[in-house]
Structure 1
Amino acid sequence: MNAQFTTSSDGTELAFERLGDGPPVLVTGGALSTRAAGVPFARELAGLGLSGVVYDRRGRGDSGDTEPYAPVREGEDLAAVAAAVGAGGEESECFAFGMSSGGLVLLEAMAHAGAALSRIVLFEPPFTGAVGQLQDPVRVARLTELVSEGERAEAVTYFLSEIIGLPPQAVEGARQSPAWEEMKKIAHTLCYDTTLLGDSTLPEETLAAVRVPTLVLSSDASTPVLQDAARATAEALPNGEYRTLPGVFHQVPPEELAPVVQDFLMS
């Protein structure tokens, strides 16, 4: 697949691809993912009459990066990709889907970057502080230290085990997977995700500024904390709706997820 490029407001070059010919849905990935991770879901959307637009968040894949990092920059990135595929122009509607911390990018884009999106979908935005599980600043500091020292493998391992809380066998499975080398390449962006999340409490002013219809989804196999955080996010949004779907931990198969998303976006 050949990438197209657009430029964010701070000059950062962003790589994206569009699959399908229907109304665009910007697929925004979570931690440790490049645009490739969103391709199966984008293809499912394309088969349902939409088009899936996958892009590399700054610092990942074929996109550039510009210091210093700030959450609003990622919101501006998404707004730039939306504009590149016609949002606010010839396209009558443009939508977006945010996976995990990708959902936080969507909220930034809507509240602070003026993205021209008609409806959005968030999958398990990790505002676990809303239900009592705050992001641990000590662990975040240790992650930042590992990244600054160039210890990429250790940083990814620490993120998966100590911040996400995956069991040892799952972490070892990640280390043995074909995606491990790509994860190490973008380990520095883990600090971007923790910065986006803050202390993991609900950003009430940001949520209040997101007026478009928003569907917040979770998997029935995710932890109760993640499910409750998704529900709390929906309740805090002016036009939020919550649903849980059959899946595995922090994931629903693309073929099951896409019809639900399509139905909401086109309703």
Structure 2
Amino acid sequence: MTTTRTTTSADGTTITYDTKGSGPALVLVPAVLSTRAWDPLYAGLLDLLSDDFTVIHYDRRGRGDSGNTAPYAVEKEIQDIAAVIKDNGGRAYAYGISSGGALTIRAASQLPEIEKAVVYDPPFIVDDSRPPLPDDYVEQLDRAVAENRRGDAVELLMTRAIGVPADWVAAMKADPSWAAMEAVAHTISHDGRIMGTTMSGRPLPTEWKSITTPTLVLNGGNSEPFLHTSGRRLADLLPNGEHQVVPDQSHDVAPAAVAPVLRAYLKGSVR
């Protein structure tokens, strides 16, 4: 049975999460735009992994049923994860997809209570194989939301950060999911701040060499080449990093494809 609970972060913000299963806690760290109600990348993982883990799926601040205490700071998102972990035994594994993977790495750098981490296709741009984000990307997002152009913020994310062809966007706007994305458009800049300079075409932060948390970096076999490049470089940079490819999967990884990989890595002994 899935249970909905709340916890309170360090700044007083209410964080709402669903939990299912028993065993070691596994926190699913959502990617950009995702909520508990709309999260196709994590949908089903509570059922698929609940026999082995206490699986936790939370609404990041500003989304769904969680609060949004201003001003925003990446540190507060890390404190949110810490609060969820504290509420569930004080130790946990963490799994993040895309920008959720970047947040997972940043959380692992500060939270020793994360015993193992798994990240899938963190969208780092570490060379010139793909255009970097513009330097004022976050400012453009904030301005669009401030001017109530929420659709423009979503479109900027899609075309510049994710790389969706511009002529596809019109069709996306006709889909009901577009309204769900506009509803959390004010949080897109949060993910921009989490990504920081990691989508600029420059090397990954050298300070990540000090992250000793055992970390599995996953890429989909069908994911774009730049993701494989950055995935391997991240695994090489981390002292306890490993790299693995999930066959036949793209950036939109199927929960059923990644669940066995998560189970095998997290239940294995720490190297």
Q: TM-score, normalised by structure 1?
A: 0.90
Cα shift readout 1:19-65 (whole Å, capped 9, x = no counterpart): 21222210011111012312312221114x22321000111100001
Q: Does 1:43 align with 2:18?
A: no
Q: Match of 1:95, as an amino acid? A: Y
Identify if the C-alpha distance between structure 1 residues 13 and 196 changes in structure 2 by more than 3 Å, giving closer, same or farther: same
On the 8 A contact 2:25/2:93 being kept in 1, the answer is: yes
1:203 paired to 2:200: no
Given that 2:108 and 2:117 are in contact with CA atoms closer than 8 Å, whether structure 1 keeps it comes out as no
Q: From the superposition, tell whether residues 247 and 65 of structure 1 become closer, same or farther in structure 2 (CA, over 3 Å).
A: farther
Return the offset for 1:231: 1.3
Q: Equivalent pairs: percent with the same residue?
A: 35
Against the structure 1 CA distance between its residues 71 and 35, is the aligned structure 2 distance closer, same or farther, given a 3 Å change threshold? same
8 A contact 1:95–1:117 mirrored in 2:
yes
Q: Please state whether the residue corresponding to 1:241 is helix, strand or coil.
A: strand
CA contact (8 A) 2:138 2:193 kept: no
Q: Deviations over 1:75-104 (max 9, x none)?
A: 11111111111124xxxxx21101111122
Change (3 A) 1:71 1:21: same
Alpha-carbon contact 1:120-1:215 (below 8 Å) kept: yes
SS of 1:137 mapped into structure 2? coil
Q: Residue 102 of structure 2 aligns with which residue?
A: 104
SS in 2 for 1:78: helix
Conserved? CA contact 2:145–2:185, under 8 Å: yes
Letter in 2 for 1:46: S
Amino acid aligned to 1:131:
D
2:124 aligned residue (112, 123, 127): 127
Range moving further from structure 2, 174-183 or 57-66: 174-183
Does residue 1:78 correspond to 2:76, yes or no?
no
Change (3 A) 1:171 1:46: farther
Asked if residue 18 in structure 1 is aligned to residue 14 in structure 2, the reply is no
Residues 178 and 24 (structure 1 numbering): CA distance in 2 closer, same or farther, change over 3 Å?
farther
Relative distance call for 1:66 and 1:176 in structure 2 (3 A) is same
Q: Residue by residue, what CA displacement relative to the aligned partner does 1:191-243 show, whole Å, maximum 9, x if unpaired? A: 001111112141221x2232121000011212111121111111111100011
Q: Specify whether residues 51 and 247 from structure 1 end up closer, same or farther in structure 2 by C-alpha distance, changes over 3 A only.
A: farther
Give the equivalent residue in structure 2 for 1:160: 158
Q: Which runs of 4+ in 1 moved over 4 A?
A: none
Unmatched runs of 5 consecutive residues or more in structure 1: 89-93
RMSD: 1.8
- Tell me the secondary structure at the aligned position of residue 3 of structure 1: strand
- For residue 135 of structure 2, what is the aligned residue in structure 1? 137
**Matches of 2:190 and 2:103, distance apart in 1:** 11
Aligned pair count?
258
Structure 2 distance, partners of 1:162, 1:25, is 31
